[in-house]
Every structure is written in structure tokens, then in C-alpha cells.
Amino acid sequence: MKILFLNKDYILRAISMKEVIEEDEKAFVITSDKNANIPLRTNVDIKKYKGQALYMPGYIPEEEISGQKIISIYPENINKNLPSAPSTMILLDAQTGFVKAIIDGTILTRLRTGAMSGVASKYLSRKDSKIFLLIGTGGQAQAQLEAVLTVRQIEEVYVSDTNFKRAQEFSFEMQEKFKDKFDVKIMPIKSPNDIVPKADIITTVTTSKTPSFDGKLIKKGTHINSIGSYTPDAQETPVEVLKKSSKIYFDAYEAVLSESGDVIIPINKGEFSKDKITGEIGQLIKGNKKPRENDDEITWFKAVGTAVLDLVVGEKIYKKAIKNNIGEFLEF
């Protein structure tokens, strides 16, 4: 039996951001149609090393995709110069149950998470959007940037981080990386609020427990992607965004309501009602929910991520790698 091994370099050779966005669209529809068997994840505490192992299995019958992502949370790995959240994706042959691929789960997660904002911006932002504000420069930031640049002809990107030096370094690195692919200026800023009043698209990808910008400053027609907050006590999105938005979409309705402080906190305070939620992005993609109806509407997309994304994007990477003879086979 042979197992295909795909590390970061192989993955980036096998698939483009445009293709990941297309696969995310498919995954969102599968999620909204409830066409996947996704059990609750299993969490195993490794108390001796202050770690945790999370096992996230799933199966999509119509696509015959089966697999499991394993992600470990080891905060003290930083002291060993190791990633604090290493991840591996395992794909199975749905017909036989044998493992067919081992994929770098860290880069897979970054790509599919970035593409979520790409999908939402494609369907909800104004088509003439030119100014993009990115808040947060962590591991997810590059894919978030590339995804928005892929779906809109952005002319100016402004990058904000609590550490201005990081914003400077990230902006310079991304300008160099994408100089031949996108005609865009990427610039660091000390405060996001300097740009919020003129931003057409805003993406927040932070772990902040408090709002990352002043929501009162948002102009008409802005689209906001909130990607970073995925725990009940984290609220990177100001409540004004929720109040001002006429279209509010989630990646997975129940998951967002049970996991994200961006929604949980304002609901508990009586500042937001579930009645304002328009629906899931998969419903919008299928045409079952309304898109942006004019250039003045403020729209909001909130996502926490689902195993369906890992399965669908992982399978696409596998198929493209096989087709293009990318990766290494391991004998088992």
C-alpha cells in the first residue's frame, strides 16, 4: 500500500488560492445542505506537557471523501522554537478505509481559512472595492490577504497589528511576495481607525478579547470578514458592525452561535438578536438567500471553520497532486 505525503511546498505547488476559494464554495454548500457526517471533535488533555490533542473526523457521502484532521495545542512549544498548534490531515480511501494521504494540516488550515474570506468578499463586498484593511499579522494573515486580492481588484492594502514592527515587516514581505501577481500597494499603519472610515473591505484575524477597531467609523458599503474570534470570550468585532449590517452571514449557523464571542457576548448583553442573522454563506452561494442589494449596505461575514472545509480542500489537493505527479509516496 502507498500513502501520498504532501508537505507545505508540495501543497503550494499543487493548488492555487483561486482553486481553494472554489473548493471552499463547494464546502459551504455541503455544510448548508447538511450533506456531511461530522461528529463532535474529540479533545484529549495531555496534562503533563500542558497540551491538548484534538481529533476532527468526517465523511462526505456524495463526494466519497473521508478523513481526519489532528491538531495539537501546545502553548509551551514556543519556548522550544516549535509551532504551538501543529496539525496533520489524514485522508482515507472511502471505499476501503485505507489511508491514502498525509497532508500538512497547518498550511491546509491557513489556505482554507483565508479562502473563506475570499468567498465572502466575492459574494458580499462591492465589486468596485479598492481599499482593504487587514487587522492581524499572525499565521493566518498571508492567506487572508491573498484571498481578498484574488477576488477583488484591490489597489491599496493597509495592515494593522498591535505590534507596529510586525505590521511593517509583514507589509514589506507581502509587497515583495505578491509584486508580480497583484498590482497593489501594501502599507503598515499604527492604528486601524485611521483607515476604517475609507475601507471597502475589512478583515479581522486576531485573538483579541476586545474589539479590534472602532465600529462607529465604518462607512456605508463596507464589507467585514471576522475570522479570528473562535472562543466564547473573544470579541474582536465591535458590536456596531452587527448593528449596522443589513446582511449577516455565518459559515455554519450553530457553530458560530455556540463558539464565537463576536456573537455570544452581544446576545448575552441584549445588544444583538439572532433574528438579524440572514443565513449561512452556503445558502447565499446556492441563491437561496439575498446578496448585497445596493452599494450602501454594510455586510458582515463571521466564520469559525468546519471540518467540511478540511475534507473538501484536502481532497482537491490530493487529486491535483496525483494528477501532476507532486509529492512523495510512502510504502506501508
Contact (Cβ atoms closer than 8 angstroms) between residue 76 and residue 50: yes
pLDDT of 19-29, one tens digit each? Answer: 999 999 999 99
Over the stretch 234-251, which tens digit does the pLDDT of each residue have? 899 999 999 999 999 999
Question: Is residue 82's pLDDT more than 90?
Answer: no
Of residues 119, 90, 117, the one with CA closest to residue 310: 90
Q: Is the pLDDT of residue 77 over 90?
A: no
pLDDT tens digits along 290-312: 999 999 999 999 999 999 999 99
| Predicted pLDDT at 137 | 93
pLDDT recorded at residue 193: 98
Cα(311)–Cα(62) distance, integer angstroms: 13
Task: Give me the pLDDT at residue 274, please.
Answer: 95
- Regarding pTM above 0.85, the answer is yes
**329 CB neighbour count, 10 Å cutoff:** 11
Could you tell me if 39 and 58 are in contact, meaning their C-beta atoms sit under 8 angstroms apart? yes
In this structure, CATH architecture of domain 114-307:
3-Layer(aba) Sandwich (3.40)
Residue 78's pLDDT is 78
pLDDT at residue 53, as a whole number: 94
Mean pLDDT of the chain: 96
CA dihedral 64, 279, 237, 239 (to 10 degrees): -160
Enumerate the domain spans of the chain.
114-307
State residue 40's pLDDT score. 82
